[in-house]
């Protein structure tokens, strides 16, 4: 019999379970990171598109978050507009300081001749307190604040500091050679109450993947494939309307 993903045969036997956990998103004291944009390149033709995770009834409007988990585990998908949301929180007596960010390419490829632009509908927009640009072409990282008090400051020496009980987020945009496919890692160095810690997003064994963009406005007007939740199939230039699928 099966119970919540577990399987048992007979009586008084050991129970075996298959549990699929979340991806290896980094979590350390005060800092969490995840990809935010719901547009991906599949390194293959449309007829070979994989089946996305099952979407529970009533959760159609939030399934893009599940797709972030799914895509980050696949070796044949790359984020087209690579942006990582970094959420920062402090405890009642904590002081958090983020003072260094490194985006490190491990491998770089030419895009395959056949590829497919796929899109997850119903993705939420971003309204971060800080915009951070990580440029792999010159190893430069700059930070700007949403209020316009400062713009394009090099990090380091610039840093983001949160005092006791504060919360804030930052969008980290990847800048690389346009059109190339990348595998790499993102690391954030932070101090919590003066003690340094590093959160690493991606590794040699499980890198994060993205499509290079040079910082100019990305053209997102081309044909895309979107998953039809009701029909359970990929459709070209499909624009579902919430509640009418």
The pLDDT tens digits for 178-233 are 989 999 999 999 888 888 988 888 888 889 999 998 877 655 557 889 888 888 89
Cis peptide bond upstream of 156, omega within 30 = yes
Residue 243 lies in a domain: no
Rounded distance between C-alpha atoms, residue 27 and residue 6, angstroms: 28
Q: What total number of domains does the chain contain?
A: 1
Residue 10 lies in a domain: no
Residue 14 lies in a domain: no
pLDDT in tens, 85-94: 898 888 777 7
Residue 215 lies in a domain: yes
The structure's pTM equals 0.79
**Mean of the pLDDT values across residues 39-50?**
93
Q: Which residues contact 138 (CB under 8 A, 6 or more apart)?
A: none
Residue 141 lies in a domain: yes
| pLDDT higher than 80, residue 79 | yes
Rounded distance between C-alpha atoms, residue 53 and residue 2, angstroms: 20
The H-or-E segment that residue 97 falls in is: strand 96-109
> According to the model, what pLDDT value does residue 39 have?
84
Residue 172 banded pLDDT, cuts 50, 70, 90: very high
Rounded distance between C-alpha atoms, residue 168 and residue 177, angstroms: 30
Residue 22 lies in a domain: no
Report strand pairing: 31-35 vs 96-109: unpaired
Residue 69 lies in a domain: yes
Residue in the block written with tokens 């993205």: 210
| pLDDT higher than 70, residue 20 | no
Residue 2 lies in a domain: no
Domain that holds residue 86: 27-236
């Amino acid at each position: 019999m099966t119970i919540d993903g577990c399987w048992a045969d007979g009586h008084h036997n050991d129970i075996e379970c298959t549990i699929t956990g979340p991806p290896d998103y980094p979590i350390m004291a005060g800092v969490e990171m995840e990809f935010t944009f719901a547009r991906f390149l599949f390194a293959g033709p449309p007829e070979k598109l994989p089946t996305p995770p099952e979407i529970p009834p009533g959760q159609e409007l939030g399934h893009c978050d599940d797709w972030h988990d799914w895509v980050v585990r696949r070796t044949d998908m790359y984020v087209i507009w690579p942006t990582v949301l970094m959420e920062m929180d402090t405890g009642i007596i904590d002081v958090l300081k983020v003072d260094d960010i490194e985006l490190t390419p491990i491998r770089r490829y030419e895009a395959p001749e056949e590829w497919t632009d796929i899109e997850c509908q119903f993705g939420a927009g971003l309204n971060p307190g800080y915009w951070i640009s990580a440029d792999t072409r010159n190893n430069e990282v700059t930070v700007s604040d949403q209020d316009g008090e400062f713009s394009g400051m090099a990090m380091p020496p610039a840093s983001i500091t949160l005092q006791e009980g504060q919360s804030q987020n930052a969008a980290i945009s990847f800048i690389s050679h346009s059109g190339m496919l990348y595998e790499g890692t993102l690391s954030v160095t932070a101090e919590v109450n003066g003690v340094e810690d590093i959160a690493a997003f991606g590794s040699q064994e499980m890198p994060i993947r993205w499509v290079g963009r040079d910082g100019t406005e990305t053209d997102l007007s081309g044909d895309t494939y979107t998953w039809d939740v009701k029909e359970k199939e990929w459709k070209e230039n499909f624009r579902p309307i919430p509640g009418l699928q």
